[in-house]
Amino acid sequence: MDEADMCSLWRYAAFECLNEECRRQYPLTEKLFACPECGDLLQVAYEPADQAPDPIRAHWRERRLSENPLDHSGVWRFRECLPPIAPRHVVTLREGNTPVYPARFSAQYAGVSNLLFKHLGFNPTGSFKDYGMTVAVSQARALGARVLICASTGNTSASMAAYAARAGMRAIVLIPSENVALGKIAQALEYGAVTLQVKGASFDDVLRLVRELSARPDVYLLNSLNPFRIEGQKTILIELLDQLGWNVPEHLVVPGGNLGNSVALFKAMEELQRLGFIARFPKLTIVQAQGANPLAEAVARGARRITPVPHPRTQATAIRIGYPVNWRRALQALEATGGFCLAVSEAEIAEAKAAIGRDGIGCEPASAATLAGIKRLREERKLAPSETIVALLTGHLLKDPEYTMRYHSGQLEDVLTGRHIRGRLANPPIPVEPRLDAVARYLYDFSLSDGR
């Protein structure tokens, strides 16, 4: 099948209001981030065209050999699933194409035998945000936007800044003045974004500010309430299934912050099922940090709504969010897939992160909430040891080197209890005299370092 034969999987696409009682539709060519009628969130809704899945799956495979820049992207390679955007508008850094790894140490750590990590941190800007950013920034370009803006706990701003630079657009990022990991701020600065550290503000406060600013003409919002971000992030699941030969894993585990990623994965599941690509859903489990747990708390109470956490606290700063905008759809995802939602402690996150490091992979703290959640579910017997589980690692180890150094040198504080976390996998650097005998004694005597 060549490109000329290939068309979208969709006959028709439009914005649709997510409010059951509204459901109004709007053309995708409008610049919208909320329903003009009722103010609720929007999503892209589609009418499927009549396409058989097999030839499309084969075509996606063939594209791995193509020299077309769009085919080098792990997002645009699956463009038949995306809203229509002309190739001349596409802004790509060859995002996606992230590896899937078995992980023996981590599997043992959690007490399971079939664990895979899909490491989304191996993206051009080091986090999963690039999957959505390439699509949303391309749409911004198609609409003629000139200023890109976002609120961020760090990764969104790094990603948006990079894509804005590629597109030659102005980037304004708003971040809380504290609790943003160093690597992420450094990226925003290096990519040339105007970086505003909003004094005394939390992520939730900052998001309110940018939502207001995005009403201005020319200003385009890049947070996950932008439906085009969600569209791009759907390809995380499509790429994963392509890598797994379309064998649907039993369980998919993600960290939850603003819950955009959870919603994107669920939307991909629904659409793939509707199009005949998959017959069943994996369970989608969402793991939050104990001090930023509005969804887990609502689920534990059996409530239909979340109660915002006014002062969220966690050292996993990426998910330090008290009022996630996508909570309603995330609740639906949990219900429809039979997944769990739980919150893990600061110590559980820290230990799990070090375990992922021991597999030679590593990740940033928020990503490690996944392994901590799997271990907990296993201990509570909510998970069979042989279940096939894919955990999504959302950010690269080097995003937050300060956290990692504090853990290994025994300086990491549990912000909820005020106590230091005593890392069982801590591996501090060892000062040593500049003499052969002093150094050589470490070659084989493991008891001298940390007992490994």
In sequence order, what E strands does 304-383 have? 341-344
Q: Measured from the CB of residue 328, what is the shortest distance to ligand F0G in angstroms?
A: 14
Q: Does 256 bind ligand F0G (CB under 6 A)?
A: yes
Using CB under 6 A as the binding rule, whether residue 334 contacts ligand F0G is answered as: no
Q: How far is the CB of 60 from ligand F0G (least distance, A)?
A: 24
Question: How many residues bind to ligand F0G according to rule CB under 6 A?
Answer: 22
Interaction of residue 127 with ligand F0G, rule CB under 6 A: yes
Which three-class secondary structure state does DSSP give residue 7?
A: coil
Task: List binders of ligand F0G among 134-153 (CB under 6 A).
Answer: 152-153
Task: Give the residue with the Cβ less far from ligand F0G, 319 or 372.
Answer: 319
Structure tokens at 372: 């901590």
- Is 235 a binding residue for ligand F0G by CB under 6 A? The answer is no
Extract the tokens encoding 111. 């007490």
Strand partners, 170: 147
**Could you give the 3-state DSSP secondary structure of residue 341?**
strand
Q: Tell me the window of 62-70, 276-284, 361-369, 372-380 that interacts with ligand F0G (CB under 6 A).
A: 361-369
CA gap 301, 296 in Å, rounded = 9
The conformation of residue 420, written as its DSSP 8-state character, comes to: B
Least gap, CB of 258 to ligand F0G (angstroms)? 3
Task: Please give the C-alpha separations between residue 76 and each of 46, 68, 69, 321, in angstroms, as whole numbers.
Answer: 18, 10, 9, 30
Task: Confirm if 73 and 92 have CB atoms less than 8 A apart.
Answer: yes
Quote the CA–CA distance of 67 and 206 in Å, as a whole number.
41
- Token pair listed for 383: 């998970």
Binding status of residue 257 toward ligand F0G by CB under 6 A = yes
Q: Residues 260, 294, 362, 373: which binds ligand F0G (CB under 6 A)? A: 260
Is the CB of residue 121 less than 8 Å from the CB of residue 364?
A: yes
Interacting span for ligand F0G (CB under 6 A) from 57-65, 269-277, 363-371, 424-432:
363-371
Of 14 and 149, CB closest to ligand F0G = 149
Q: Minimum Å distance from CB 394 to ligand F0G?
A: 3
Give CA torsion, residues 36, 41, 47, 51, to 10 deg: 140
CA gyration radius for the chain?
22
Q: Which is nearer to ligand F0G, 253 or 318 (CB)?
A: 318
Q: Does 224 bind ligand F0G (CB under 6 A)?
A: yes
- Minimum CB separation from ligand F0G for residue 362, in Å? 13
Give min distance, CB of 263 to ligand F0G, in A.
8
Could you say whether residue 202 binds ligand F0G (CB under 6 A)?
Answer: no
Beta bridge partner(s), residue 391: 117, 253
Q: Which stretch binds ligand F0G (CB under 6 A): 89-97, 362-370, 402-410, 414-422?
A: 362-370
Cβ proximity to ligand F0G, 82 vs 284, nearer residue: 284
Among residues 154, 291, 294, 362, the one that binds ligand F0G under rule CB under 6 A: 154
If the CB atoms of residues 154 and 249 are measured against ligand F0G, the closer one turns out to be: 154
Q: Which is nearer to ligand F0G, 127 or 285 (CB)?
A: 127
Q: How many residues would you count in the chain? A: 452
Q: Which stretch binds ligand F0G (CB under 6 A): 34-42, 139-147, 165-173, 249-257?
A: 249-257
| Pairing assessment for the beta strands 10-17 and 42-48 based on DSSP bridges | antiparallel
CB of 251 closer than 8 Å to CB of 390: yes
- Among the listed residues 103, 366, 391, 397, the single contact to ligand F0G using CB under 6 A: 366
Beta strand 170-176 with 100-102 is unpaired
With CA atoms as reference, report the closest residue to 392 among 270, 226, 260, 276. Answer: 260
Of 436, 66, 313, nearest to 76 by C-alpha is 66
Among 179, 202, 261, 314, binds ligand F0G (CB under 6 A): 261
The side-by-side arrangement of strands in the sheet containing 194-198 is 194-198, 170-176, 147-151, 219-221
Q: Is 306 in the site for ligand F0G (CB under 6 A)?
A: no
CB of 30 to ligand F0G, least distance (A): 24
If one asks whether residue 319 binds ligand F0G (CB under 6 A), the answer comes out as yes
Conformation bin of residue 386: beta by default, left when phi > 0, alpha when psi is -120 to 50: alpha
Q: How far is the CB of 367 from ligand F0G (least distance, A)?
A: 6
| Distances in whole angstroms, Cα of residue 193 to Cα of each of 108, 149, 166, 181, 320 | 42, 10, 12, 16, 22
Closest distance of CB 353 from ligand F0G, Å: 12
Site for ligand F0G in 370-429 (CB under 6 A): 394-395
Question: Shortest CA distance to 221 belongs to which of 134, 142, 131, 160?
Answer: 160
- Asked whether position 343 contacts ligand F0G by CB under 6 A, the answer is no
Q: Which residues make up the interface to ligand F0G (CB under 6 A)?
A: 127, 152-156, 224, 255-262, 318-319, 364, 366-367, 394-395
